[in-house]
Structure 1
């Protein structure tokens, strides 16, 4: 399987890039990629602002899951160019 070129990836809609990047991350069990994407979502600041107390892990996970679900079929607004670049970069790696 060959790695697609930047031009090929850049020609794709953001939603297609997201689907392909997520499929690749699932295949490789790449939690680091998912976490980096979550940190760029508009509501990520709320999830990160929890106090870090031992009992706050539940809300942190809940917030992360909620943010992740927001990516599906959602207008990404101002974050779209950044997320799009992240998807292209990830898909361009072997």
Structure 2
């Protein structure tokens, strides 16, 4: 594999992750991409990467309109907001 071009490694890794349904691989790429863009000198692209990734997830969740699926995701939404959203405390009156 050392002799392969970077784009060949990328293509093979992505193809394997797709076959294996390895969401962790894709998640890791999404997490790293903004920092990697910035390290490569593409500061605006790093910021845009976060916006694009959140847009992809929003589209994926929006496309899944099944209320049963959304209810199964509810604890994840709740947990995230409870940990990170300061306005949630204000709206519930807790401090």
Q: Structure 2-normalised TM-score?
A: 0.39
Bigger relative contact order, structure 1 or 2 (CA pairs below 8 A, ≥6 apart): 1
Q: Structure 1-normalised TM-score?
A: 0.40
Bigger-Rg structure (1/2): 2
